[in-house]
């Protein structure tokens, strides 16, 4: 069972966002589609009540992916880039890193569900999954 499938089962009746950004509550949809590492804030109220081991593992995976200065810069650069997406070739000069190094960091962000990758010919374009930062912010916000 994947971490995402485990997470889907942990949250029961809460709504989850698929990588398409579509809200779903269907069990079939949850099993057939990969989920974002952090779903709706109702599912992981970190500062409102104790979270489960599965929720903690999923949140840690997301935070681990972001806990690197280069990856934080990539998130910022891609999100701020014209059209909200960027190719590796557009990121090498500003970061002063090689293409393989940047590709590695981008792969980590894609695997964590933070970025999407759209292959166009020989190039891959990366874009931020809009709901991820909103969900992370909601999870970490203080209790109201």
Q: Are 33 and 8 in contact (CB under 8 A)?
A: no
d(CA 11, CA 101): 36
69 and 122 belong to one structural domain = yes
28 and 81 belong to one structural domain = no
* Residue 118 bridge partners (DSSP): 125
How does strand 115-120 pair with strand 123-128? antiparallel
Band of pLDDT at residue 18, cut at 50, 70 and 90 = very low
pTM for the model: 0.66
User: What is the number of domains present in the chain?
Assistant: 2
Which CATH number does the domain housing residue 97 bear? 1.10.10.10
pLDDT tens for 70-107 read: 999 999 999 999 999 999 989 999 999 999 999 999 99
49 and 89 belong to one structural domain = no
Given a cut of 80, whether residue 132 has pLDDT beyond it is yes
Q: Are 56 and 77 in contact (CB under 8 A)?
A: no
Query: Could you tell me the two tokens for 94?
Result: 């500003």
Query: Could you tell me the two tokens for 3?
Result: 């971490």
49 and 87 belong to one structural domain = no
pLDDT average, residue stretch 1-8: 43
Range of the domain at 21: 3-58+131-140
Band of pLDDT at residue 139, cut at 50, 70 and 90 = confident
Helix (H) or strand (E) segment spanning residue 86: strand 85-87
49 and 95 belong to one structural domain = no
Band of pLDDT at residue 37, cut at 50, 70 and 90 = very low
d(CA 22, CA 30): 11
pLDDT tens for 61-72 read: 999 999 999 999
């Amino acid at each position: 069972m994947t971490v995402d499938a485990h997470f889907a089962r942990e949250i029961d009746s809460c709504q989850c966002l698929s990588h398409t950004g579509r809200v779903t509550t269907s069990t079939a949809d949850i099993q057939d589609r990969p989920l974002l590492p952090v779903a709706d804030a109702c599912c992981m109220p970190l500062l409102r009540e104790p979270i489960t081991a599965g929720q903690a593992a999923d949140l840690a995976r997301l935070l681990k992916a972001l806990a690197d200065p280069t990856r934080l810069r990539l998130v910022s650069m891609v999100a701020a880039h014209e059209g909200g997406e960027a190719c590796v070739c557009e990121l090498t000069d500003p970061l002063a890193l090689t293409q393989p190094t940047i590709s590695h960091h981008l792969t980590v962000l894609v695997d964590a569900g933070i970025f999407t990758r759209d292959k166009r010919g020989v190039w891959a374009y990366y874009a931020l999954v809009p709901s991820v930062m909103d969900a992370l912010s909601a999870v970490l916000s203080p209790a109201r």
